[in-house]
Amino acid sequence: MFNKNTVAAGVAAFASVALAAGCAVADGNKADDVDITAMSAEELAEHLIFETGSWRDQEMQEGGGWRDRMTQDEIQKACSFDSTRNDLDGEVAGRVVALAREQYQAPEGDIELGDWRKGAELADSGYGYRIGHNVDDHGTREAGGNCYNCHVMDSSVSVQGTIGPNLENYGAQRGDSQEIRQYVHQVISNPHQYFPCTQMPRFQGLLTEEQISHIMAYLLDPESPVNNR
């Protein structure tokens, strides 16, 4: 607890320093000292992100600073194509699946389900990892799964998102075998293993294994309201 408060205070201090620093950059109002027309669009985008003082100097919840948060990993790079005009390239898809399998850490032994009630709360929580003008403090409130933003899971609770597939009766239709649990754990942890360049986040690392086990219970436990729709 002491540790977390220290981090929170640090974040707050960072934020106020960043505000002052940000204004100084804005005040400078200097013309670009580089020729932006000599760059490709991709180069200019990276230049704008990393070299123009566009971000607050804050410590991210996962550690590191804005530069770490904004630096792309290989999967993010591979998936940054115009999905409204181009289909996913087969070679890229294969590479992304391989990268995702490499990143994924399988649990040891059998996978146990957690508490579906806790899973329901996590699925409904959009808290966590937001930074900038309003910082999510993981020291006072745990990060959630954001599931309801994109998936209908229990339409009796609230209006839910449609960016991802409807998951009502997910477990009722598939059962609750170890194979199914392994698959669901893989998809929640790193969905690119099955759906390369999906819009869904990789939750391994964002949520704890315990939190993931609760969300899995919400999806798979026969008692869960998700499976009694």
Partner 1 sequence: MFKKALLALPVAMAVGVAGTAAQAEWQDPNDVLQKLLEAQPDSKYLHQSEMNIMMMPDNPALYLLDDGEELFYKERGPNNASLESCDFGKGEGVLEGAYVELPRYFEDTGKVMDFEMRLVHCMKEIQGFTSDDSAVSQRHGSGSDIMRLTTYIAHQSSGYAWNPPLDHPKEQAMRDAGEVLFFRRGGAMDFNCAACHGDSGKQIRASVLPEMRNSQEWTKAVSWPAHRAGQDNVRSQNHRIRGCIWQMRHAGILPDTPVNTALISYWNDAARGEPAILPDLKR
Q: Is residue 42 part of the contact set for partner 1 (CB under 8 A)?
A: yes
- How many C-beta neighbours within 10 Å does residue 111 have? 18
Question: Which residue among 52, 140, 166, 178 contacts partner 1 (CB under 8 A)?
Answer: 52
Residues 43, 49, 50, 52, CA torsion sign: positive
- How many C-beta neighbours within 10 Å does residue 171 have? 25
| Interface of this chain with partner 1, residues 194 to 213, rule: CB under 8 A | 199, 201-202, 206
CB 179 to partner 1: min, Å = 27
Return the residue matching tokens 């819009």: 199
E strands, 73-199, in order: none
* CA pair distance 155, 51, nearest whole angstrom: 45
Judged by CB, which is closer to partner 1: 139, or 201? 201
Phi and psi, residue 207, nearest 5°: -110, 155
Judged by CB, which is closer to partner 1: 184, or 207? 207
Asked whether the beta carbons of 167 and 219 are under 8 A apart, the reply is: yes
Question: Which residue among 91, 109, 156, 163 contacts partner 1 (CB under 8 A)?
Answer: 163
- Return the DSSP state at 111: P
Q: Write down how long the chain is.
A: 229
CB 194 to partner 1: min, Å = 15
Name the β-bridge partners of 188: none
Q: Is residue 159 part of the contact set for partner 1 (CB under 8 A)?
A: yes
- Measured at the CA of 30, the angle between CA 24 and CA 35, to 5 degrees, comes to 135
Question: Which residue among 103, 104, 121, 129 contacts partner 1 (CB under 8 A)?
Answer: 129
Comparing CA positions, the residue from 8, 197, 4 lying closest to residue 99 is 197
Q: Is residue 149 part of the contact set for partner 1 (CB under 8 A)?
A: yes
Q: Is residue 133 part of the contact set for partner 1 (CB under 8 A)?
A: yes
Asked whether the beta carbons of 94 and 73 are under 8 A apart, the reply is: no
Question: Which residue among 2, 3, 16, 37 contacts partner 1 (CB under 8 A)?
Answer: 37
14's tokens: 């960072």
Q: Is residue 34 part of the contact set for partner 1 (CB under 8 A)?
A: no
Q: Is residue 36 part of the contact set for partner 1 (CB under 8 A)?
A: yes
Q: Is residue 166 part of the contact set for partner 1 (CB under 8 A)?
A: no
Question: Which residue among 9, 13, 17, 25 contacts partner 1 (CB under 8 A)?
Answer: 25
Q: Which residues of the chain form contacts with partner 1 (CB under 8 A)? A: 18, 22-23, 25-27, 29, 31-32, 36-37, 39, 41-42, 44-45, 48-49, 52-56, 58, 60-62, 66, 69-72, 75-77, 79-84, 129-134, 146, 148-150, 158-163, 199, 201-202, 206
